[in-house]
Amino acid sequence: MQARQMGYKSVTVIDVIVVADSTTTINFQLSSVIIKGKGVKLGSNKNIINKDLHQTAISSFAPAVAGFATVLRDSEFKGDSNIESILELAEGSKGKDAFGYRAEFLNMVKRAKFLLSDKTEGE
């Protein structure tokens, strides 16, 4: 019987007796081996993510989302935040929106602004 695994030396066990309808247990250890190969070079001629711009958009957009929740709930933690300030912050930090989630959030804030303005006018 022979056991092999990538990254290990193969082991051959001889004189193994196998009997029908029974289990045979064989204990052995595989010793690790260093695999040598040619080096691989990876390269790119285009900067895929501009970390500075990406991080700025994330760090500004996330507070807009959290702030929106506090304004909707009229939370004691909303501070001076209101729908206008949330909308301004979100629009200013929209950045690239590959899947349209940020645009969808902006539309939701605009709808909430409209609904809240109707509510205050009716009072």
Which residues contact residue 116 at a Cβ distance below 8 angstroms, ignoring those fewer than 6 apart? 83
Structure-model confidence comparison of residues 109 and 34, the more confident one: 109
Q: What is the model's pTM?
A: 0.50
- Encoded tokens for 25: 């247990």
- pLDDT of amino acid 108: 95
Residue 29 pLDDT > 90: no
Kindly list the distances between the CA atom of residue 17 and the CA atoms of 14, 30, 38, 50, in Å, as whole numbers in the listed order. 9, 21, 42, 63
* Percent of the chain surpassing pLDDT 70: 80
Tens digit of each residue's pLDDT (9 = 90 or more) over 33-75: 887 777 767 666 665 555 555 455 556 788 889 999 999 998 8
Residue 14 pLDDT > 60: yes
- pLDDT of amino acid 112: 92
Kindly tell me the sign of the dihedral angle through the C-alpha atoms of 67, 72, 75, 80: positive
- pLDDT of amino acid 46: 61
